[in-house]
A and B are shown apart, each in its own frame.
Chain A
């Protein structure tokens, strides 16, 4: 494992499988009456959020607390700290406080990379989403969810996603989730297809390890998992598509479309969902939709990542579990 987690593209297949397997161990902690491990006792983790994201922050915070880390939340959203100097200054302040890991969410693509490589700070850096670049723990939790649903909780241990067909639908252009998922799913052996109107596919996508289609209906029958991406309403004003209704007709997922998917196929969404536009309530609330599981899995994945980046040589979770089961 590397010292930082900046991009899903940095993970090897074995790294990724190790994280998924470790997350499976971590998930068992959630089933205990006391959902806590001593693994990161005495370590300090800062959640450095330059951009609002309550869900991601809470997920990381839960993961950190379950590992007994000392948690500092630093919310630096807004114009007062939107200038670059502040990232450096903030980093150095945290460094001076002896922080062991920084979980950073930033509106600028590359900010976590700069933080990790500019010599401003010594701590491990975990990217919790940067601009339209990467959100690696999201991709990991998505892969974890797919492995559990498509292979099985126990059967999946040690397995990757070889041969699974995953379709990502929506605003690929602005989506760090899409970029992370394409990278990670490819590493794990899955076949990825992006489906979007041409305006929401980046120029240069042809080098990505995936297919691109503008036609959702023909893709659905060949999909084991369909991941809907969030479409921000303001994209409409920037003429990425004519109207919400037209978008919805062409790229929205409703019950009728879901019926074209294979029996076993699942519907995923990184949240928050725009019901009615990108996904109908019928689909969102169906048992094929994994949104709630994704949230729960997010905690397990983040525990695994923190543990592997910071836990180092200390006893693994499996050891703790074994002791407890005696």
Chain B
């Protein structure tokens, strides 16, 4: 019963093929494969992708289990087609020691819905002053390779430089939350026409762009690699494009919501649209889409940020920042990138699986769909159309900006090392 035959799926959006899973591995890919002893999944018309990898997830455990836990978060991930997620370090306690990262990693393994790869904090307590024990976290069972103070910017140039240099010893990468703190004091939304009218504190694009500019230059100077989290402005795209053309080892991510939503939505004062970095303008959205298409932006990462209802059901200024995203990411990418002709499904596989796994060094994930590879797979019904209903979310939190919005595509099956975690849209 460990054999599964996925019949007639468009592998990476190509011609229909059969894919045979045997145990934890893809046994064969081809036409008219033998279904004997295998459970058959009829997949005609659907797209088969490598299991998605999210380089930017907030699982909230330990510390804010009322928002999300490793279990609920990985169930949400499996629902969204993910087989691996990188869990951000801003938990309570902060994931700045080997003990905390190992705990999170183990919980992921035990629950079995999705591999959890913890991200270690760059600095102790995310305070930006003293480097955390990056080497110990790397050497722990969790094998941390990505470090980030996400939620906060490593704004001290010297600390950032040292972190970039230090992680070279073990091939790590520093993922920067680019936000100049002084320029964003009291910031509530994108600084521009809408903030001027609404009287909400502005988060200027330059606060992101100036840090990215500094960090790519630092990475160049010390010969390290840097990853830019949730890039959100047209100007940031230009800087990353320039840095790449110069040969600097920089990678960048964009969230699904920054590909779709604009700051015009803030006019509703509905805190479901409050996120950091903030929703930007139409011009930024179009620049981000273009950059994701041409590879300037390497990956899509969700920045899945669960918050309980009471943290959002209040006035804007008091509300928490963030949106859940794991369960809607692929639909938003289909809507903004595939259905618009900007990306093929093979390129989606690159932006949402191959590349994030490569950046995060997640071995066993982001592998080609071919014989001998780990059976981490996601099956998508791309013809599906339906409106988003958060009541059906596996995530413990419901703070989605897409409630009631029609989005295309639906993940029907997810397999983690050959074990189904999602079958016909239902978690196992």
Contacts and interface: CB of A to CB of B under 8 A. Distances in A.
Given A113-B269, A203-B192, A207-B193, A88 B313 contact: yes
Contact of B316 (A83, A114, A176, A202): A114
Contacts of B314: 83-85, 87-88, 114
B37 interface: no
Interface stretch (B135-143, B199-207, B296-304): B199-207
Contacts of B423: none
B197 A179 contact: yes
A202 B196 contact: yes
Tell me if A's interface is mostly helix, strand, loop or mixed: mixed
A204 B192 contact: yes
Given A203-B202, A204-B191, A107 B317 contact: yes
B318 A205 contact: no
A109 interface: yes
B269 to A, nearest CB: 4
Contacts, number: 88
For chain A, which range describes its interface: under 10, 10 to 19, 20 to 34, or 35 or more residues? 20 to 34
Contact of A109 (B204, B268, B313, B317): B317
A110 B319 CA distance: 12
A213 interface: no
A110 B316 contact: yes
Interface in A5-34: none
B337 to A, nearest CB: 29
A87 B191 contact: no
A106 B269 CA distance: 14
B34 interface: no
Given A109-B200, A113-B269, A131 B317 contact: yes
B198 interface: yes
Contact of A131 (B193, B200, B268): B200
A151 to B, nearest CB: 29
A172 to B, nearest CB: 9
A176 B199 contact: yes
B338 interface: no
B317 A203 contact: no
Contacts of A83: 314, 318
Interface residues of B, number: 25
Contacts of B200: 109-110, 131-133
Given A203-B191, A203-B202, A84 B315 contact: yes
A7 B402 CA distance: 27
A204 B319 CA distance: 24
Which of A87, A115, A203 is the most central at the interface, judged by chain B CB atoms within 10 Å of its CB? A203
Contacts of A133: 198-200
A204 B315 CA distance: 23
Interface in A107-154: 107-111, 113-115, 117-118, 130-134
Contact of B315 (A114, A134, A202): A114
A132 B191 CA distance: 14
B36 interface: no
Interface string B195-228: 1111110101000000000000000000000000
Interface string A55-89: 00000000000000000000000000011110110
A131 B318 CA distance: 12
A85 B319 CA distance: 9
A208 interface: yes
B318 A202 contact: no
B33 interface: no
Contacts of B202: 202-204
Contacts of B32: none
Nearest to A182: B197
Contacts of A84: 311, 313-315, 317-319
Given A109-B316, A131-B317, A114 B269 contact: yes
Interface string A201-232: 01111111000000000000000000000000
B199 A131 contact: yes
A110 B196 contact: no
B315 A82 contact: no
Contact of A82 (B195, B270, B316, B318): B318
B315 A106 contact: yes
Interface in B152-206: 188, 191-200, 202, 204
Nearest to B319: A84
A121 to B, nearest CB: 13
A134 B310 contact: no
B200 to A, nearest CB: 5
Contacts of B204: 203
A84 B312 CA distance: 9
Among B195, B197, B310, B313, the one with the most A-chain Cβ atoms within 10 Å of its Cβ is B197
B195 A204 contact: yes
Nearest to B204: A203
A204 B215 CA distance: 28
Contacts of A115: 315
Nearest to A115: B315
A49 to B, nearest CB: 15
Most chain A CB within a 10 A radius of its CB, from B315, B316, B318: B315
A179 B315 contact: no
B281 to A, nearest CB: 10
Interface in B306-348: 310-311, 313-319
Contacts of B192: 203-204
B322 to A, nearest CB: 15
Contacts of A114: 269-270, 314-316
Contacts of A117: 268-269
Nearest to B191: A203
Nearest to B188: A109
Given A84-B314, A84-B319, A109 B199 contact: yes
A176 B202 CA distance: 15
Contacts of B318: 82-85, 87, 108
A111 B188 CA distance: 14
Interface in A210-264: none
Given A110-B269, A110-B316, A203 B198 contact: no
A11 B319 CA distance: 29
A111 B269 CA distance: 8
A221 B185 CA distance: 38
Contacts of B193: 204, 206-207
Interface of A: 82-85, 87-88, 106-111, 113-115, 117-118, 130-134, 176, 179, 202-208
Which 5 A-B residue pairs are closest in the complex by CB-CB distance? A84-B314, A84-B318, A204-B196, A133-B199, A108-B317
13 contacts: A82-B318, A84-B314, A84-B315, A85-B310, A85-B313, A87-B318, A108-B317, A111-B317, A115-B315, A203-B195, A203-B196, A204-B191, A208-B197
Given A84-B313, A85-B318, A114-B314, 4 more contacts: A82-B318, A85-B310, A87-B314, A133-B199
